[in-house]
Amino acid sequence: MTKETILNFSQSQAEPLWLQERRLAAFDKMADLDLPTIERVKFHRWNLGDGRLAVSEQTAAVPDFIALGDNPKLVQVGTQTVFEQLPANLVEQGVVFTDFATALEQIPDVIEQAFGQAVAYDAHKLAAYHTAYFNSGAVLYVPDNVEIEQAIEGIFLQDSDSDLPFNKHVLLILGKNSKVNYLERFESIGGHSQETTANICVEVIAGAGSQLKFSAIDRLSQGVTAYINRCGRHADDASIDWALGVMNEGNVVADFDSDLIGHGSHANLKVVAASSGRQVQGIDTRVTNYGRSSVGHILQHGVILERATLTFNGIGHIIKGAKGADAQQESRVLMLSDQARSDANPILLIDENEVTAGHAASIGQVDPEDMYYLMSRGIDQATAEKLVIRGFLGAVITEIPVKEVREEMITVIDQKLDKR
């Protein structure tokens, strides 16, 4: 890892001077920063990045992906954009949805102002590594007062036959009073023959009064060791509803954060996760209330199979001055094996009076009474177990706005169950 490598890459991509300088500053900071804190997850010896900066030399075959008709859509394989679609009426309204390099040409000032607002490059070692070494990404920009009825989809495919690090930066910028429905997918394709790393950062800058429904499915392969960071920065009365499906096969640590900077801002984070085999998944879901009367709710449900490990850390932090804030969280895990390991850790940090806060956490096995009820009506044990699990995870799955994606998530869960 050298500064010369970073500078050469940045110049080869014709990046602006401010981004070159940000990359180099992040590189200089890396040695002095600690890894992020993910309570009760031992990931400090994982390989989470080798400092290579390159772009894909060739594009893998693109599989069939969910058809959304004329909906805005961006598909990338590795670092290459293979499909891009944005209806003319949205272009006329000033909407931008394209790869990161192209967006830097189209709206350079907007990106310079927004980049790093939600995730600072010096927040921790993996954030600095990401800023120095991300090699591709995408930007969605929605101007003030624009409401988009169609679902917008970003599909980011990792070629598992390549060992190139999968380092993506996705930046969503929502203007004042805008309204957007966004669906995101990170998924491995190919023969799954190579081991590599992923460092993914998704920043959402939500302007005053904006509304975002953010749905995501993560399906990286067993050979990908990943750090995934999604963070929203909310202005006054801004609202983000997150529905996140963590369905990876490899080891993963994740930060899902909402910073409620503005007064009256809202965040509703729903996370569903499934761990199988011997994989380890550690998920930190955090809401920090800065603004008065801000509301942050966390709901996490997970299923663990075989000898896997799943850790949910739910963190609600009400900062001094955030009077009238509300922080609620619930983390529940269903264990389907005596060899599985799980933690569900509720953490509340309250620095202000006149607020509301609460938490709940549980770890358990499939309720025998539920199984008995279903089997007494002629349903076999395997099917009954699947139905119980679907019901358990349904609180998140039902929040995903696209029917085909909801069905796919159920299919993925069933596939994990069938592997036992």
Q: Is the pLDDT of residue 310 over 60?
A: yes
- Which residues pair with residue 271 across a beta bridge? 244, 300
Once rounded to an integer, what is the mean pLDDT over residues 96-103? 98
What distance in Å separates the CA atoms of residue 338 and residue 333, rounded to the nearest whole number? 13
What distance in Å separates the CA atoms of residue 185 and residue 200, rounded to the nearest whole number? 12
The per-residue pLDDT of the chain, averaged, comes to: 92
Helix pair 403-418, 381-397: axis angle to 10 deg: 140
Give the pLDDT of residue 1. Answer: 67
Q: Is the pLDDT of residue 63 over 80?
A: no
Output 394 or 127, whichever has higher pLDDT: 127
Q: Is the pLDDT of residue 69 over 70?
A: no
Give the pLDDT of residue 153. Answer: 92
What is the DSSP track for 36-101?
P--TT---TTS----------SSPPPPPP----TTS-EEEEETTEEEEEE--HHHHHTT-EEEEHH
Once rounded to an integer, what is the mean pLDDT over residues 351-373? 91
Give the pLDDT of residue 389. Answer: 85
Give the pLDDT of residue 293. Answer: 98
Task: State which H helix or E strand residue 9 sits in.
Answer: helix 3-12
Confidence band for 60, pLDDT divided at 50, 70 and 90: low
Once rounded to an integer, what is the mean pLDDT over residues 163-191? 95
Of residues 70, 106, 65, the one with CA closest to residue 82: 65
| pLDDT digit string, tens, across residues 154-174 | 999 999 999 999 999 999 999
Domain ranges of the chain: 3-363
Give the pLDDT of residue 65. Answer: 52
Give the pair of three-digit tokens for residue 77. Answer: 């394989």
Give the pLDDT of residue 411. Answer: 84
pTM (two decimals): 0.94
Residue showing tokens 């005596």: 338
Region of poorest pLDDT, from 81-85, 104-108, 111-115, 286-290: 81-85
The percentage of the chain sitting over the pLDDT mark of 90, rounded to a whole number, equals 78
Given a contact cutoff of 8 angstroms between Cβ atoms, the answer to whether 26 and 131 are in contact is: yes
Of residues 96, 182, 186, the one with CA closest to residue 136: 186
Give the pLDDT of residue 396. Answer: 76
Between vectors from CA 171 to CA 170 and to CA 172, what angle results, nearest 5°? 125
Q: Which amino acid is at 252?
A: V
| pLDDT digit string, tens, across residues 263-295 | 999 999 999 999 999 999 999 999 999 999 999
The percentage of the chain sitting over the pLDDT mark of 70, rounded to a whole number, equals 96
**Upper half-sphere CA count for residue 212 (Cβ side, 13 Å):** 36
- Which residues pair with residue 216 across a beta bridge? 184, 244
What distance in Å separates the CA atoms of residue 319 and residue 305, rounded to the nearest whole number? 38
Beginning with the edge strand found earlier in the chain, give each strand of the sheet holding 96-99 in spatial order: 96-99, 136-142, 166-174, 196-206, 224-234, 252-260, 280-289, 309-318, 341-350
| pLDDT digit string, tens, across residues 234-245 | 999 999 999 999
Q: Is the pLDDT of residue 62 over 70?
A: no
Give the pLDDT of residue 58. Answer: 58
| pLDDT digit string, tens, across residues 3-58 | 999 999 999 999 999 999 999 999 999 999 999 999 999 999 999 988 788 776 65
| pLDDT digit string, tens, across residues 197-233 | 999 999 999 999 999 999 999 999 999 999 999 999 9
Between vectors from CA 146 to CA 144 and to CA 149, what angle results, nearest 5°? 155
Give the pLDDT of residue 15. Answer: 97
Q: Is the pLDDT of residue 150 over 70?
A: yes
What distance in Å separates the CA atoms of residue 107 and residue 140, rounded to the nearest whole number? 11
CB atoms within 10 A of CB 16: 14
Give the pLDDT of residue 53. Answer: 81
Whole-Å CA distances, 417 to 58, 233, 276, 407 = 35, 36, 9, 15
Q: What are phi and psi of 3, to 5 degrees?
A: -65, -30
Give the pLDDT of residue 27. Answer: 96
- Which residues pair with residue 402 across a beta bridge? none
What distance in Å separates the CA atoms of residue 17 and residue 15, rounded to the nearest whole number? 7
Q: What are phi and psi of 128, to 5 degrees?
A: -65, -45
Q: How big, in percent rounded to 5, are the helix, strand and coil portions of the chain?
A: 20, 40, 40
